[in-house]
Structures are given as structure tokens and as C-alpha cells.
Amino acid sequence: MFIVVSVLSVLLAVNFAWYGGGKLIDAKPAVEALDAVGVGAQLRKTIGVLEILGAVGLVAGLWLAPIGVAAAIGLALLMAGALVYHLRAGHRGGELMMPAVLLVLTVVTAVLRLVTA
């Protein structure tokens, strides 16, 4: 089971580090996507920092389980917030897919990490 948790953690960490970095450097796709849901520059930077910290926590959690659990829960909450912003912006269907899938995967990772700890 640890292999599954490890793979999920690393894949999620790469995803969140990539997109968090994009938010921090004001990459055009990140700026446009967050502007479309009403997220301003300061909140965009905060989300980027949280995503990168979450990615680091997921990787550190491979050695220190409580950190991995906390990171996965924090990222799940972040994705729940993303879903709320998308819904408020009137998005439906495909626009909700990425945050919904990431929410599910982070919750699964947290639960599996708790079970295997």
C-alpha cells in the first residue's frame, strides 16, 4: 500500500508544484484561468505558495507520515475552495473536472496515508 501512497504523493506533488509555480511567476494561463473565476493577484500568489508548500509536504510525508497527511488535507481544502470559486463563476462540466479530480486524489492520499501509518 505504501507504493500506492508514494506514487499518488509524488504525482500530486509534481502537479501542485507545477501549477503553484505558474501562479507565482504569473504565467499567462494561470493568470487567465484565475481571473476567469474572480481570483485577484494577491490571492493567486497565496494559492501558488500553498500549492508549493503542499507539494513539499506530500514528498516529506513519505518519511514523516503526519506531514504528508496534513499536506494532503490542506491541498484537499484548497481544491474544495477552487470548486467553490468555479461554481460561483457559473462553470459547469469540464471546468470543474481538474479541481474535482485533485480533491478526490488528495483525500484518497490522506486516507491511505492514515491507514498505512
Residue 72 CB coordination number (10 Å): 28
* pLDDT value at residue 63: 95
pTM score, whole prediction:
0.94
Q: Kindly tell me if the per-residue pLDDT of 52 is higher than 80.
A: yes
Between the alpha carbon of residue 52 and those of residues 20, 58, 70, 89, 117, the distances in Å are: 5, 10, 14, 25, 24
- Which pLDDT score, from 0 to 100, does residue 117 have? 73
Residue 59 clears pLDDT 90, i.e. is over it? yes
Q: Per-domain residue ranges for the chain? A: 2-116
The percent of residues in the chain predicted with pLDDT above 90, rounded, is 89
Give pLDDT, residue 71.
98
67 grid coordinates: 506531514
Burial of 47 (0-12, 13-18, 19+ CB in 10 A): buried
Report the C-alpha gap between 71 and 62 in whole angstroms: 11
pLDDT tier at 99 (50, 70, 90 boundaries)? very high
Per-residue confidence band for 114, with pLDDT thresholds at 50, 70 and 90:
very high
- The one-letter code for the residue type at 103 is L
